[in-house]
Structure 1
Amino acid sequence: MQSFADAKEFFQYSAGQWQSRRVTHHLPFRRAESGGSNIQVETLEKDDPRIIEICQMHDMDASLSVGGSYVTWAGTMQWDKDDENHEGSTVFALIPDADNPRQGKLLRERGYAEIVPVAGEYHLDHEDGLVLTTEYETMTIYERFWFANPDLRLRTSTVKRFGGFNTTTFCMEERIQTSPVTATAAAETNPLYAISGW
């Protein structure tokens, strides 16, 4: 299991291209829907103009950010209609708490559920899974991300709205291309040893 000092390390490790397969359970209808997507994650340093812009959008001091990511996605779902489109992109910035680098705020210029600027609360749990809670006007989304191995990331999410739980999703995300930053991090985290033990 991978270990991370903070959320910045977690997202640096997530950089690269991923193929996602998911199952979404629509609880009110007692139905399940499958789908898939291709996801690209690019690491952004704290001085990247996109990070600074996101912080300004949220009236946050950009010097408090440790960086973030640029994420693009394109996917399909089983019940899609002809005019439905599951493509998009977002930039997010991490603002860790001053007294605990393992938790803080995640700022985005658009949410996944609503196309408006949104700020979520994150923390790394005792198993180094990243837990993210995002409040929207009409719903709350709870997500947990973790690595089963360096090239397999798992994700669960639950959407709560109108006073009750609406959907739950399980995603299996397989890395199909590694970024240079991720490759370096993986080598440092999992060094290769000779059979002799050196």
Structure 2
Amino acid sequence: MTSVGMTTKTLESLSLEFFQQSAGQWQSQRRYYTLNKETEPQEVESLITIKFLEQGTPELIELAKLHQLDNLEALVGGTKVTWSSNYTGTIRKPSNGSTVFGVWENKLYRDRGFATTEPVVATYYFTNPQTMCLRTEYNGSVFEEEIKLIGQSYRTRQSIISRAGQELMIGQYLEKRLEN
């Protein structure tokens, strides 16, 4: 699914503008709701750093190799996202990590997925220039995500995780920019 009348070039340009606007450091508060059982929502606080990547950067070349793309410079741009997360109200180890995203046409290539360390590919589209939507499928699960820029200082995200047509979890995020 893509926005009506949108060319691949326009879609790629929108994604690069979106990633440039997202670059910086963010404080993220999120909550995960498990839908198929009575479980208390999980709350997580994170510090997220988003770095914009130009076409041809070493991270994007490596990502193209990981996905076995014929043209190692096919990815027109992307981001590197690093995070440090702490679960609140529960005894879980802090989580630290990073992931690289690269754009080519209507695909968003990643070096890892939400629930796997294997490389994955999402299809993306925009409902407007400030709202990117992703759909990723692997291991029998579907991950749908909407990321919305709100002015210069806030982002919201919502993720819905499904398996066999049944929604299992919803993640809702509010992110506040700390610095560019």
- Which residue in the other structure is 2:111 paired with? 109
Alignment gaps of 5+ in structure 1: 97-103, 179-198
Establish whether residue 14 from structure 1 lines up as the match of residue 22 from structure 2: yes
Shift, 1:136, TM fit: 1.6
Letter in 2 for 1:40: T
Question: Number of residues paired by the alignment?
Answer: 167
Q: Distance in 2 between matches of 1:151 and 1:126?
A: 18
Higher Rg: 1
> Pick from 144, 169, 175: which aligns with 1:167?
169
CA RMSD of aligned residues (A): 1.8
Q: Match of 2:3? A: none
Cα distance, 1:11 vs structure 2 = 0.6
1:72-104: per-residue Cα shift (whole Å, max 9, x none)? 01112235434x3421111111112xxxxxxx1
Amino acid at match of 1:63: E
Is 1:71 the equivalent of 2:81? yes
Q: What residue is the counterpart of 1:52 in the other structure? A: 61
Gaps of 5+ in 2: 1-10
- In the other structure, the counterpart of 1:152 is 154
Q: CA deviation at 1:69?
A: 0.9
Could you tell which deviates more after superposition, 5-14 or 60-69?
60-69
What's the counterpart of residue 178 of structure 2? 176
Query: Is the 8 Å Cα contact of residues 130 and 150 (structure 2) preserved in structure 1?
Result: no
Give 1:33 shift. Answer: 2.1
Bigger shift: residues 121-130 or 37-46: 121-130
Whole-Å Cα distance in 2 between the matches of residues 81 and 162 of structure 1?
Answer: 30
AA matched with 1:77: Y
Matched, 1:39 2:41: no
Give the AA of the match of 1:67: G
Cα separation, 2, equivalents of 1:128 and 1:41: 16
Distance 1:41 1:134 in 2: 20
Percent pairwise identity: 32
When normalised by structure 2's length, the TM-score is: 0.85
Give the TM-score of the pair, scaled to structure 1.
0.78
